[in-house]
Amino acid sequence: MVDSIGAGRYAPSPSGDLHIGNLRTALLAWLFARSSGRHFRLRFEDLDRTADGAAERQRDDLAAIGLDWDPPEMRQSSRLDVYAGVVTELMSVGRTFECFCTRREILEAPSAPHSPPGAYPGTCRHLTEAERAARRASGRRPAIRLLSDTDTFTVTDELHGAQTGTMDDFVLVRGDGTYAYNLVVVVDDGAQGVDQVVRGDDLLSSAPRQAYLATLLGIRPPVYAHVPMVLNTDHIRLAKRDGAVTLSDLHAAGITTAQVVSLMAESLGLASPGEPVSTQALLQRFSPQRLPREPWIFEPPQLVED
C-alpha cells in the first residue's frame, strides 16, 4: 500500500563512486522531500553496468554527508518479474508493437515536421504479421515500443515551468531484452509512492514521456524539479575522470566531508563561503524558489602529494 504522505527519492546507478555533482543532486532531492514532509527513498538502478561494492560505497557516502532515507531500499535487478508483468499488460491491451529498426535507420529515416532529432518515425508501427515474421527470420531481435496515442504531453516543473515534449513511440524493452529507463523509472516510482522527482536538468526532456506512461498505467505523475548540473571548468558535465571529485578523492586532497557539505551549501546559496553547516541546518534554510538556476562550475582541488 502506498503511503498517503508521498515520497521523494534518489536513484543512483551503482556503476562507481558518487562524485560531488551526484552528491549535490542527492542533497537537493533530500531537502525537497524532507522540507515538504515526505518520505525519502533510495533506489539503485542496477539493470545496466554495475561495479562490485559501488552500491555500498554510495550508501556510505550519502550517509556521511548527513542524508537519511526511509526503508525499504529498492534494487531494480530484483524486480524483473514486475517489469515483465507491466509490459505484458500493455501488450494485452494493444499498447505496444515490435520494432526491428536499428538506431542508424531511425536517425536516417524521414521524420515528422517539428519532431526532435532521433524521434521515432513510426517505421514498424503498422507492419503486418508476415512482415514481422520476415524480420524475425532475418535474425533481427525486436525492441518493444509503446504505441502512443498523442503527439505531445506537458508537465509542470517547479523550476522550469511548463514543459511540453513530443510523444513518439518510445522503447519499453530494448532489443537485448533489457527494460528501458523510461519504463522502469515510472513503475518503480509508483511502487515506492514517489510523488516528487528531483534530479539533474539533463533529464528534463524525459519527464513528459515518463508522465505520459504513468497516466497510461494508472499512476499519478509526480511533481518534478530538475535542478542545475555541476560542470567542470570546461563547462562540461562533471565526471569521475575530472580528478578529485568523489568523496574519497576529496578526502585525499585534504577536503573533509564537512567541508564538502559546506561547498555544496554555498553553491546553492544556503551558506556563506567556508561556513560550517549540517544538512539539518540546511533544511531550516531551504527554499526551492531561492535556488540558483545556473550550473555550478566546480574546480577540483589538487591531490595532496605523499
Task: Check whether the bond before 295 is cis (ω within 30° of 0).
Answer: no
Answer yes or no: is 134 a known binding residue: no
Answer yes or no: is 99 a known binding residue: yes
Answer yes or no: is 45 a known binding residue: yes
Set of cell numbers at residue 109 = 529515416
Are the C-beta atoms of residues 261 and 268 closer than 8 Å to each other? no
Answer yes or no: is 13 a known binding residue: yes
Query: Residue 99 is inside which H or E element, if any?
Result: strand 96-99
Set of cell numbers at residue 205 = 526532456
3-state helix, strand, coil in the chain (%, to 5): 40, 20, 45
Ramachandran bin of 86, using left for φ above 0, alpha for ψ from -120 to 50, beta for the remaining angles: alpha
Answer yes or no: is 212 a known binding residue: no
Answer yes or no: is 120 a known binding residue: yes
Answer yes or no: is 221 a known binding residue: no
Set of cell numbers at residue 147 = 504505441
Answer yes or no: is 224 a known binding residue: no
Answer yes or no: is 292 a known binding residue: no
Answer yes or no: is 12 a known binding residue: yes
Answer yes or no: is 179 a known binding residue: no
Q: Which amino acids are annotated as binding site for Zn(2+), given as ranges?
A: 99, 101, 120, 124
Residues of the binding site for ATP: 240
Residue ranges of the annotated binding site are 9-13, 45, 99, 101, 120, 124, 181, 199, 240
Annotated binding site for L-glutamate: 9-13, 45, 181, 199
